[in-house]
Amino acid sequence: MKIATMKTGLGSLALLPGLAMAAPAVADKADNAFMMICTALVLFMTIPGIALFYGGLIRGKNVLSMLTQVIVTFGLVCVLWVVYGYTLAFGTGGSFFGSFDWVLLKNIELKALMGTFYQYIHVAFQGSFACITVGLIVGALAERIRFSAVLIFVVVWMTLSYVPIAHMVWGGGLLATHGALDFAGGTVVHINAAVAGLVGAYMMGKRVGFGKEAFKPHNLPMVFTGTAILYVGWFGFNAGSASAANEIAALAFVNTVVATAAAILAWTFGEWATRGKPSLLGACSGAIAGLVGVTPACGYIGVGGSLIVGIASGLAGSVGRNGSQTLVAWLMTVRCVRRTRCLRYRGLYPDRYLCRNLSGRRWLRGRRHHGPSAAGAAGKYRHHYRLVRHCGLHRL
C-alpha cells in the first residue's frame, strides 16, 4: 500500500510544471514522409503543371519559349533560395528580413527539427512555394519580355519582394506580429504573384502582335492537363501547410476539394447564364479560381466556409470577366481578386459555423486581421510598380 501511494505521489510530482522536464522534440517518421510528399506535389505543380497550363493558353509558336522560361527560372529560384533566400525569409531578424545565419544552409544540423520534421525538408517545402510563385509571374509576362530580362527580373523580385513578404508573414516579421493570417500562401504567393504579373503586364504594354492576329488559346487539352496537375498538386500546397499529418491537414484537404468543386459549378453556370453556353476553358478557370480563393483560409474555416468561398470565387470570376482581356492577364486578375476577397472572408467569417482553428472571441479576432492583411495586399501594388520602373525592366 505504501509503495502504491509513493508511486502515485511521484507521478503527481512529475505533472507539476516546475518539476517536470520538457520532453525533447522528436522526429516523426509519418510527418517527415508526409511533408516530403507534399513538397514533391508542389514541385509537380510548377513542372509540368504551370508550364502546360500557361503553354496551352498562349500562341502555338511561343510554347517552347514558355516551357523554357518556366524550367530555367525554376532552377534559378532553387539556387537563390538555398544561397540566401531561406535564411532571409525564415532566419531570426528584423521586421522585413531575417538573418544571414543560414546562408548556403550552413549552421543547419542534419537532425535539426522544425516541429516534428527535419529542417531540410522545411527548406525544400518553402523553396517549392517560391518556385511556383515565380512560375505564375512568368506566365503573366508571356510574349511581353525577353528571356534575359526574365532572369534579371526573377533575381530582383525574389530578393526585394518574395523574401521580405515571406519573412513578414511566415518568418515572424512585421505582418505576423500584427496578427496577419496566411495558412497556405494567400498573401505570400498568390497576391504577391498576381500583383507582380498585373503591374508587369501593364508597364510592358500589349503582347507582341496584339491586334494584328488572334490570341485564342492554341491547345485546350493542354490547358486541361495543366489544370488537372495543378489541382492534384494543390493538396500538397494546402494540406502540407499544416506541417504535420494531423487534423488541420485533413480539414485543409477537404476544404480544397469542396471549394474547387463549388467554384467549377459556379463558373460553369455563371458562364452558361451570361454567354449562353459553358466551356472547358471556363470550367478550368473556375477550378483555378476556387483553389486560389480557399488557400489562405483552408486551415481556418469549416466546410461551410469553403463552400461559400468557392461559389463566390466562381461566380465573381465568370460574371466579371471582360471578353476583351487576354486570358493570361485575366487569370492574374482572378488570383489577385480572389485572394484579396478571401483575405476578407477569412477575417469576416471566423465564426462558429465557419471557423475550426481559431480560438477566443472569434468575431473580434477575425476583424482584427483586416488591417495587416489589407496593408500587405495594398502595399504590394506600389512596391511592384516601383520595382519594375526603377529597374527599367519594362524597357528590356
User: Is the residue at 365 inside a domain?
Assistant: yes
- What is the Cα–Cα distance from 327 to 34, expressed in whole angstroms? 35
Supply 327's cell numbers: 486570358
Query: 143: number of CA atoms within 13 Å, CB side?
Result: 19
The length of the chain is 396
User: Is the residue at 359 inside a domain?
Assistant: yes
| Confidence (pTM) | 0.80
Q: Which residues lie across from 301 on neighbouring strands?
A: 355
User: Is the residue at 5 inside a domain?
Assistant: no
- Tens digit of each residue's pLDDT (9 = 90 or more) over 354-393: 444 544 433 334 444 444 444 444 454 455 555 555 554 5
Tell me the three state secondary structure of residue 12: helix
Q: How many domains does the chain have?
A: 1
Q: Are the CB atoms for 277 and 320 separated by under 8 Å?
A: no
Q: CA of 93: how far to CAs of 62, 170, 326, in Å?
A: 43, 13, 42
pLDDT tens digit at each of 396 positions of the chain: 444 444 444 344 344 344 344 456 789 999 999 999 999 999 999 989 999 999 998 888 889 999 999 999 999 999 999 999 999 999 987 888 999 999 999 999 999 999 999 999 999 999 999 999 999 888 878 777 888 888 998 999 999 999 999 999 898 888 878 777 778 777 888 788 888 877 777 777 666 666 666 668 889 999 999 999 999 999 999 999 999 999 999 999 999 999 999 999 999 999 999 888 999 999 999 999 899 888 888 888 888 889 998 998 888 877 655 443 444 444 554 444 444 444 444 444 444 434 445 444 333 344 444 444 444 444 544 555 555 555 545 444
User: Is the residue at 3 inside a domain?
Assistant: no
Residues 6 or more apart whose Cβ sits within 8 Å of residue 267:
282, 283, 285, 286, 289, 314, 315, 317, 318
The CATH number of the domain holding residue 359 is: 1.10.3430.10
Tell me the three state secondary structure of residue 114: strand
- Tens digit of each residue's pLDDT (9 = 90 or more) over 302-311: 888 899 989 9
Q: CA of 77: how far to CAs of 54, 72, 94, 211, 233, in Å?
A: 19, 9, 23, 34, 19
Q: What is the DSSP string of 190-218?
A: IIHHHHHHHHHHHHH-SPTTBTTB----S
User: Is the residue at 199 inside a domain?
Assistant: yes
User: Is the residue at 6 inside a domain?
Assistant: no
Which residue segment(s) compose the domain that 75 sits in?
29-395
User: Is the residue at 363 inside a domain?
Assistant: yes
Q: CA of 367: how far to CAs of 85, 188, 347, 361, in Å?
A: 32, 20, 5, 10
Q: Are the CB atoms for 171 and 106 separated by under 8 Å?
A: no
Closest CA to 286 of 263, 269, 306: 263
User: Is the residue at 23 inside a domain?
Assistant: no
Q: Are the CB atoms for 278 and 270 separated by under 8 Å?
A: no
